[in-house]
Amino acid sequence: MNIKFRVLIAYLFFAVATSEMLVHATPEIKAQSAILATLNGDQILFEKNADKKMYPANLTKLMTALVAYGRCNEEDTVIISEDIKNYISPFDQTMNLKPGEGISAGDLLKAIIIGSYNDAAIALSLHCAETPEAFVDIMNEQAVKLNLFGTNFANPTGEHSEMNYTTVRDMLLIYKKIYSIPFLRDIVDKAYTTIPATSKSKERTFWTSNSLSNGYYSLRYLYNYAKGGKASASTFGGSGVACTAVKGNSRFICVVLGSVQDESVNYSFIDAKNIFEYGFNNFVLKTVLRQNDIVSEIKVKNAKGEGRTLLLAEKTVQCYVKNDDDVSNVEQIKNVPESIVAPLKEGDAVGSVVYTYNGYPVGEAQLLAEGDVAASKIKFLFGSILWFVSLRYVKLFLIVIFGAVAAYAIVVASVLIKAHKSQKIKKADKTK
């Protein structure tokens, strides 16, 4: 074997080994915290300090938009307050809303999510709750309802405050909630939007600052699979981004907070891209349960016939597993009672099954009765009697009655025995 061929073989071996290491390596990122999940948020694929409290800065506006959407109709006309400038500093990013200007709530939601304009956030907070402070109270109430245990808001704009904080796990839940609302999902997925002119302003077009999904501000971070999303940067919070990416049938959400931004590089975009690539390259979607699969069998009390029924999966459950893994490592946890009482109808929910992978929940499904199970009147009557007799107070009553009857029987028996003995003695005396 000549030297050139040996070098070529060695090079190819090194290239394959290196590519394997890169594919399976956990992403190294500069961000203080990050999380990667499936688009529905049901499965976590990667996390770093997911519960660490961070300053969300402009990502706060995702919650502002969510709360405002719930408080008003997107077709509502918002009249800009005369004192709106009292809530805006000269350094805030604004769309230059003018006092008395009428603009739809839907257009303000676009301005909040895509353009990240502070005056739009203030305008909606005043429209929905009269004061920004009252609106913040509603934001925090909503946070409790969404089980955001590491989150508190101090303002609707994301202006820095020690009391305005969140975690990437909580921000994932906020993003997931926004994605469940078609109107907001359509906005957050856009790279740019144009809103019509008003009586006091010309037509406006603004672009998302998330450079993963568009090149308006910078071409260097463009990521072909990214969609819309929202970016953030501040002195105290560092750089961050919340974004979705779609490749084939894989659809992920990534949230990055507390990354590094210097004069030339915004590492939150680089971090997010590396995390997305880790997800796309290392995980594959597999089916762990198919609709109508038999999952369990259950005893049916008081039933005609055999008294058992099969439990079928309500739906198909899929989850992501690592490329070199298989579904046998997805743990199945059944939540099924030992028995159930007839009658039972086909399709009745009897229990559930939950799946976990690497310690994370990945999906669940209800378990449905395979068919009708009629009740037996005789078994029902007998079972009812047994049930009645098994009641604590009934047992005590029966014990007392049994004890009384037994005592009475003993007394009667004792009296009869004594009487019998007495008669024997009398007969014996007569014979003498």
Per-position DSSP letters for 10-42, written without gaps between them: HHHHHHHHHHHHHHHSPPP-S-SEEEEEETTS-
- Tell me the CA end-to-end span of the chain in Å, nearest whole number: 135
The structure's pTM equals: 0.80
CA 178 to CA 190: how far, in whole Å? 13
CATH, domain 290-375, list 3.40.1360.10, 2.60.410.10, 3.10.105.10, 3.30.70.1560: 2.60.410.10
- Tell me the domain boundaries of the chain: 28-281, 290-375
- Using CA atoms, how far residue 330 sits from 99, 148, 356, 361, in Å, is 58, 27, 6, 10
Q: Are 121 and 132 in contact (CB under 8 A)?
A: no
pLDDT tens digits, residue range 121-130?
999 999 999 8
Question: What's the DSSP call for residue 81?
Answer: P
The answer to whether residue 21 scores a pLDDT higher than 50 is no
Please, which pLDDT band fits residue 86 given cuts at 50, 70 and 90? very high
Q: Which CATH architecture has domain 28-281?
A: 3-Layer(aba) Sandwich (3.40)
Whole-angstrom distance, CA of residue 274 vs CA of residue 430: 118
Number of alpha helices (DSSP H) and beta strands (DSSP E) in the chain: 10, 17
Per residue in 306-360, pLDDT (tens digit) is 789 999 999 999 999 999 898 889 999 999 999 998 898 999 999 999 999 998 9
CA distance 323 to 22: 13
Pick the residue with more confidence: 373 or 181? 181
Distance CA 232, CA 257 (A): 9
What confidence category does residue 411 fall into, taking pLDDT thresholds of 50, 70 and 90?
A: confident
Quickly state the pLDDT bin for 134 (edges 50, 70, 90): very high
- Separation between Cα atoms, residue 207 and residue 149, nearest integer Å: 32
- Report pLDDT for 6: 45
Q: Is the C-alpha dihedral spanning 146, 150, 155, 157 positive or negative?
A: negative
Cβ distance 176 to 182 under 8 Å? Answer: no
Task: Measure the CA–CA gap between 63 and 157, rounded to whole angstroms.
Answer: 10
What stretch of H or E contains 405? helix 392-431
Per-residue pLDDT band for 395 (boundaries 50, 70, 90) equals low
CA diameter of the chain: 139
Q: How many CA atoms lie within 13 A of 326 on its CB side?
A: 1
Over residues 215-264, the pLDDT tens digits come to 988 999 999 999 989 999 999 999 999 999 999 999 999 999 999 988 78
Residues in contact with 188: Cβ distance below 8 Å, sequence separation at least 6, in sequence order: 62, 113, 175, 178, 179, 228, 229, 230
- Model pLDDT, residue 42: 83
Cross-strand bridge partners of residue 195: 204
Structure tokens at 168: 């990437």
**369 near 348, Cβ under 8 Å?**
yes
Cα 353 to Cα 345: distance, rounded to the nearest angstrom: 20
Which one has a higher pLDDT value, 100 or 91? 100
Q: What pLDDT band is residue 16 in, cutting at 50, 70 and 90?
A: very low
